Amino acid sequence: MSEAAQPNNWLKTRKPGRLTIAVLMAAPIAGAVVALVLALTVFRGDPAAEGTGAAAVIGIVSGAATVMATGFMLGAVIGWPVTLVLGLPAHAMLLRKTSAKIGWYALGGGVVGAVAGALRLVQTSTFARDAVLLHLAMGAVTGTLAALVFWWLRRPDSDAAEFKPRS
């Protein structure tokens, strides 16, 4: 078979299990981390209201676990469709066209997340300046984090060179 007639197998992977785990876990983990960061910073409330001693520690740990579980579930509900519709095609493109280094995935995840945030804006028909900035920023941050988790779980850099088109 000549070089030009060889089948193009760039969507195949030697690690289907890692790809599956990365697709299933990246968005929920990103959602949990973002929810925890928001809970500890933006929505912190009054720390004095927690009290002192062991009861305060139990309350904080319980609250953090609840927030992370909620973020994990929201990350799954919102992130899996985005991953399937936008993330996997971006992964295929990055695997084929780049060296599949972590920086490319971070950049691609930010772009995919911002697009998903913009789609959410269109869905809700909310175009106030603050809402636009919030949706785009949250989408970009969460998308970047999900892409980094995806990259870490999948490690596409280990077999990216195998799928580059030969010239």
Element (H, E) at 112: helix 102-124
Look up residue 53 and give its DSSP letter: S
Rounded Cα distance between 151 and 167, Å, is 27
Q: By C-alpha distance, which of 7, 3, 32, 10 is closest to 162?
A: 10
Q: Mean pLDDT, to the nearest integer, of 156-161?
A: 72
**Signed CA dihedral, 105, 110, 111, 117: sign only:** positive
Classify residue 21 as exposed, middle or buried by CB count within 10 Å of its CB (0-12, 13-18, 19+).
middle
CA 1 to chain centre: 40
pLDDT in tens, 71-124: 999 999 999 999 999 999 999 898 888 888 999 999 999 999 999 999 988 888
Q: Hunting for tokens 């596409």 — which residue is that?
A: 156
- Check residue 146 and give its pLDDT: 96
Q: Hunting for tokens 């985005």 — which residue is that?
A: 82
pLDDT in tens, 23-78: 999 999 999 999 988 887 876 655 555 566 777 777 777 888 888 899 999 999 99
